[in-house]
């Protein structure tokens, strides 16, 4: 009978050993060993492995205990070390749970000492039990017997688990649902195993229950595959959002360092995807030499974020900080920034060449300067203002983020209260300066910010996902104007409406454009869509199909900003534009030098050879007019004739009233 019971016990212990050992090995294979919670997790696993192994040895020795005094002694020693080590499990799990929820960063030395008192008491009880036997003892037959002290130890263990559960509940909103479920699963399984073993002494379920519970913890908390950027091995954008939500939930204070590589698009185009990935990996490897990987986030190609906690009340947390010294940054925020700046002043390997990257570092205190998680992501999503030449932006340098937030609110107000307005800048024939048409330009007149110009609010509109709504508004306003019959009576050939390539690529775009214009019952030939060409070569076929379908329906198309770098010769040849608009920078450059004039002349001649009409924008002086008269240019646009004006002013201009 004893052998059967021993075998029953052995099955639980062997299963606990194998499960824990598997999790232990997997944790090291995954290299999840560098965070404080990882270390606590590994220590708990190690205790289960050692305890289950010692129990296997004890169960093996029990049948032979009567044969040898040495075996009896070995059994007693193993039992002692089992209890001494195992009672550390609940407080270790409490520590682990505090790390996961972030409570550990707010724990004072006094609270930490108070939390450890029950552990010290139970450990002392076990040491004194060697002579006093008030926890357990072995009777005359060598059978293990519990006493009242064992109840105290179980009560302390359950108290630690309940304390951990209490922390989980009060910090419920600070962690993800997946972590909540994992921790609740752990509590449920472990407490069930403890209760079963406490009530039914012959069913040794505690170790096995703990091992099973750790499977859930490993799969949901310790395994961070969905939080890791596979290319660089640091955290990804999703992880940053979750961690910031946690930080704000706890009202913690952090320093946020954002590294933006401003010429990453050029690197990508010049080096290709694979070499760019290699460069990003090199940068992340460097950052890991400055600070531990779990502070680093790769939020986008060419953009990294480092989050550093700023602990309050350091004088109350000296012990905690000392314990966590391995996991606290060794450098201050400013020292980290200096190391990053020093490295970026040197070249990086980009393919087979070395290149110095243009980088800007943004430093912000949260929540003092960036008050919400959305503000942080505004910072990440917003391009660095071109006029700023500093390499480190902090304090008032980041006011443009506040401006962006204000612009976003202005856009939402404009949509609700119709504060958007369409202006028109006329175009004229070069010969005779007769009115040819006009370009529709969106303006925003906000009740709080005043006039907000397109180069500021259009990128924000795009990031808000409202660009289709705004562009539909412009098209409808143009259609209403054409519907009046005034443009056609004035001899206007068409009105230009700006589009982005990304709009054209969206599903249903052609149908939407046709539907809007047809609802006004106007000639589609009166609408000329302008595209600033920045499409990748792989998408030419798709864009060509969109243009062909709309041209077949009766619309016209022109390419905007020729000569700025956004357009290229391949596009001019392969896409069926009716006209090409030469950017003002080429015209103004032609005034400054012979080289600039040569570029203008050759551009015009090349476009004409492709049988396209030519519009030159930015015309402001008589000298420019005289220069253009020598070239086969068709239409002119610029302040020489008119700045962008509201519709009513354009009507007055057409009628000769202004």
Torsion of CA 194, 196, 202, 207, to 10 degrees: -40
From the list 330, 254, 324, 312, the residue with the least C-alpha distance to 98 is 324
pLDDT band at 6 (very low <50, low <70, confident <90, very high): low
Task: Output the pLDDT for position 539.
Answer: 63
DSSP, collapsed to helix, strand or coil, labels residue 348 as strand
Element (H, E) at 496: strand 494-500
Task: Output the pLDDT for position 1.
Answer: 42
CA angle at residue 527 from 525 to 532, to 5 degrees?
125
H-only helix segments in 250-397: 264-271, 273-290, 318-323, 333-344, 373-381
pLDDT band at 572 (very low <50, low <70, confident <90, very high): low
Assess whether pLDDT exceeds 90 at residue 601.
yes
Assess whether pLDDT exceeds 90 at residue 440.
yes
Give the CA distances from residue 279 to residues 102, 275, 304, 339, 349, in Å, rounded to whole numbers and listed in that order.
33, 6, 13, 18, 7
CB atoms within 10 A of CB 350: 18
Task: Output the pLDDT for position 4.
Answer: 54
* 367: preceding bond cis by omega (within 30 degrees): yes
Query: In which residue are the tokens 């009115």 written?
Result: 435
Task: Output the pLDDT for position 67.
Answer: 55
User: Whole-angstrom Cα distance, residue 72 to residue 61?
Assistant: 8
* Residue % of the chain over a pLDDT of 90: 28
221: DSSP letter: I
CA angle at residue 237 from 269 to 470, to 5 degrees?
70
Task: Output the pLDDT for position 540.
Answer: 72
**Tokens matching residue 165:** 């559960």
Positive or negative: CA dihedral 625, 628, 630, 633: negative
Task: Output the pLDDT for position 480.
Answer: 95
From the list 84, 61, 56, 83, the residue with the least C-alpha distance to 74 is 61
Query: Which of 399-408, 452-461, 612-621 bottoms out in mean pLDDT, i.e. has the lowest?
Result: 399-408
Task: Output the pLDDT for position 555.
Answer: 95
Assess whether pLDDT exceeds 70 at residue 179.
yes
Task: Output the pLDDT for position 5.
Answer: 52
Tell me the helix, strand and coil percentages in the chain, rounded to 5: 60, 15, 25
Q: Does this model's pTM top 0.85?
A: no
Task: Output the pLDDT for position 151.
Answer: 86
Q: What is the mean pLDDT of the chain?
A: 83
The 10s digit of each residue's pLDDT in 243-296 is 888 888 778 888 999 999 888 777 766 667 778 888 889 999 999 999 888 889
**In this structure, are residues 550 and 557 in contact, taking their beta carbons and an 8 Å threshold?**
yes
Query: In which residue are the tokens 């419920």 written?
Result: 172
The 10s digit of each residue's pLDDT in 487-507 is 999 999 999 999 877 778 888
Distance of CA 57 to the CA centre of its chain: 51
The 10s digit of each residue's pLDDT in 517-540 is 999 999 999 999 998 755 544 467
pLDDT band at 313 (very low <50, low <70, confident <90, very high): very low
**What burial class does residue 384 get, using C-beta atoms within 10 Å of its C-beta: 0-12 exposed, 13-18 middle, 19+ buried?**
middle
Task: Output the pLDDT for position 569.
Answer: 58
Pairing relationship of beta strands 392-394 and 359-366 according to DSSP bridges:
parallel
**Tokens matching residue 130:** 């060697």
pLDDT band at 387 (very low <50, low <70, confident <90, very high): low
List the end-to-end C-alpha distance of the chain, in Å, as a whole number: 112
How confident is the model over 78-106, as a mean pLDDT?
A: 83
Beta-carbon contacts of 396 under 8 Å, excluding residues fewer than 6 positions away, are none
Assess whether pLDDT exceeds 60 at residue 104.
yes
How many C-alpha atoms does 301 have within 13 Å on its Cβ side?
Answer: 15
Assess whether pLDDT exceeds 90 at residue 70.
no
Beta-carbon contacts of 202 under 8 Å, excluding residues fewer than 6 positions away, are 5, 8, 9
**In this structure, are residues 362 and 333 in contact, taking their beta carbons and an 8 Å threshold?**
no
**Tokens matching residue 51:** 């305890």
Assess whether pLDDT exceeds 70 at residue 69.
no
User: Whole-angstrom Cα distance, residue 645 to residue 424?
Assistant: 5
Query: Which of 152-166, 558-572, 589-603 bottoms out in mean pLDDT, i.e. has the lowest?
Result: 558-572
**In this structure, are residues 529 and 558 in contact, taking their beta carbons and an 8 Å threshold?**
yes
- Report how many helices (DSSP H) and strands (DSSP E) the chain contains, helices first: 26, 20
pLDDT band at 483 (very low <50, low <70, confident <90, very high): very high
Task: Output the pLDDT for position 314.
Answer: 47
578: DSSP letter: S
**In this structure, are residues 259 and 336 in contact, taking their beta carbons and an 8 Å threshold?**
no
**In this structure, are residues 543 and 505 in contact, taking their beta carbons and an 8 Å threshold?**
yes
User: Whole-angstrom Cα distance, residue 366 to residue 373?
Assistant: 9
Assess whether pLDDT exceeds 50 at residue 595.
yes
Give the CA distances from residue 603 to residues 280, 531, 532, 592, 631, in Å, rounded to whole numbers and listed in that order.
38, 18, 17, 17, 10
Task: Output the pLDDT for position 63.
Answer: 64
Task: Output the pLDDT for position 622.
Answer: 93
Task: Output the pLDDT for position 312.
Answer: 47
Scored b (16 or more CB within 10 A) or e, 537-575 reads: eeeeeebeebbeebbeeebbbbbbbbbeebbbeebbeeb
From the list 251, 412, 278, the residue with the least C-alpha distance to 350 is 278
Assess whether pLDDT exceeds 50 at residue 316.
no
Assess whether pLDDT exceeds 60 at residue 445.
yes
Query: Which of 44-53, 389-398, 427-436 bottoms out in mean pLDDT, i.e. has the lowest?
Result: 389-398
Which of 54-63, 130-139, 206-215, 613-622 has maximum average pLDDT?
613-622
How confident is the model over 41-56, as a mean pLDDT?
A: 89
């Amino acid at each position: 009978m004893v052998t059967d019971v021993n075998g029953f016990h052995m099955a639980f212990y062997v299963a606990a050993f194998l499960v824990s050992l598997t999790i232990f090995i997997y944790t090291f294979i995954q290299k999840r060993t560098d965070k404080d919670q990882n270390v606590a997790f590994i220590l708990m696993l190690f205790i289960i492995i050692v305890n289950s192994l010692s129990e296997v040895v004890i169960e093996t020795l029990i049948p032979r205990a009567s044969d040898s005094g040495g075996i009896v002694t070995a059994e007693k020693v193993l039992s002692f070390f089992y209890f001494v080590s195992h009672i550390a499990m609940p407080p270790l799990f409490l520590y682990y749970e505090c790390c996961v929820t972030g409570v550990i960063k707010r724990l004072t030395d006094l609270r930490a000492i108070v939390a450890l008192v029950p552990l010290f008491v139970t450990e002392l009880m076990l040491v004194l039990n060697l002579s006093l036997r008030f926890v357990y003892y072995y009777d005359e037959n060598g059978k293990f017997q519990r006493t009242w002290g064992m109840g105290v130890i179980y009560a302390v263990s359950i108290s630690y688990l309940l304390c951990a559960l209490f922390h989980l509940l009060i910090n419920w909103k600070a962690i993800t649902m997946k972590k909540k479920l994992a921790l609740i699963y752990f509590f449920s399984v472990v407490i069930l195993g403890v209760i079963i073993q406490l009530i039914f002494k012959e069913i040794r379920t505690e170790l096995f229950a703990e091992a099973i519970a750790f499977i859930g913890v490993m799969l949901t908390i310790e395994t961070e595959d969905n939080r890791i950027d596979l290319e660089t091995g640091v955290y990804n954008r999703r992880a940053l959002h979750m961690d910031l939500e946690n930080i704000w939930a706890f009202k913690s204070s952090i320093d946020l360092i954002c590294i933006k590589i401003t010429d990453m698009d050029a690197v990508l185009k010049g080096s290709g995807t694979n070499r760019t990935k290699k460069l990003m990996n090199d940068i992340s490897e460097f950052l890991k030499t400055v600070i531990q990987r779990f502070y680093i986030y790769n939020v986008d190609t060419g953009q990294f974020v480092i989050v550093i906690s700023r602990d309050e009340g350091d004088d109350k947390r000296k012990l905690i900080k000392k314990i966590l010294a391995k996991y606290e940054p060794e450098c201050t925020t400013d020292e980290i920034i200096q190391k990053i700046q020093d490295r970026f002043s040197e070249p990086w390997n980009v393919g087979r060449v070395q290149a110095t990257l243009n980088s800007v570092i943004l430093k912000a205190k949260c929540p003092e300067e960036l008050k919400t998680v959305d503000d942080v992501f505004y910072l990440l999503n917003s391009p660095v203002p071109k006029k700023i030449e500093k390499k480190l932006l902090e304090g008032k340098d980041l006011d443009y983020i506040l401006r962006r937030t204000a612009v976003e609110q202005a856009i939402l107000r404009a949509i609700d209260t119709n504060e958007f307005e369409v202006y028109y800048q006329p175009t004229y024939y070069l010969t005779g300066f007769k009115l040819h048409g006009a370009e529709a330009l969106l303006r925003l007149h906000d009740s709080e910010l005043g006039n907000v110009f397109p180069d500021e609010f259009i990128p924000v509109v795009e990031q808000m996902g409202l660009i289709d709504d705004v562009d539909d508004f412009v098209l409808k306003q143009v259609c209403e104007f054409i519907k009046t019959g005034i443009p056609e009576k004035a001899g206007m050939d068409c009105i230009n409406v700006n589009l982005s390539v990304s709009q054209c690529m969206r599903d249903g775009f052609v149908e939407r454009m046709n539907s809007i214009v047809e609802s006004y019952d106007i000639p589609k030939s009166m609408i000329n869509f302008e595209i600033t060409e920045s499409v990748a070569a792989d998408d030419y076929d798709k864009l060509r199909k969109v243009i062909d379908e709309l041209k077949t329906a009766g619309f016209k198309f022109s390419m905007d900003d020729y000569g700025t770098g956004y357009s290229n010769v391949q596009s001019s040849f392969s896409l069926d534009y009716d006209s090409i608009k030469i950017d003002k920078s080429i015209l103004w450059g032609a005034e400054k030098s012979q080289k600039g004039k040569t570029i203008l002349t050759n551009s015009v001649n090349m476009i004409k050879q492709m049988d396209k009409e030519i519009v030159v924008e930015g015309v402001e002086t008589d000298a420019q007019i005289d220069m253009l008269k020598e070239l086969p240019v068709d239409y002119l646009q610029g302040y020489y004739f008119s700045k962008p004006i509201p519709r009513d002013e354009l009507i007055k201009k057409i009628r000769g009233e202004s």
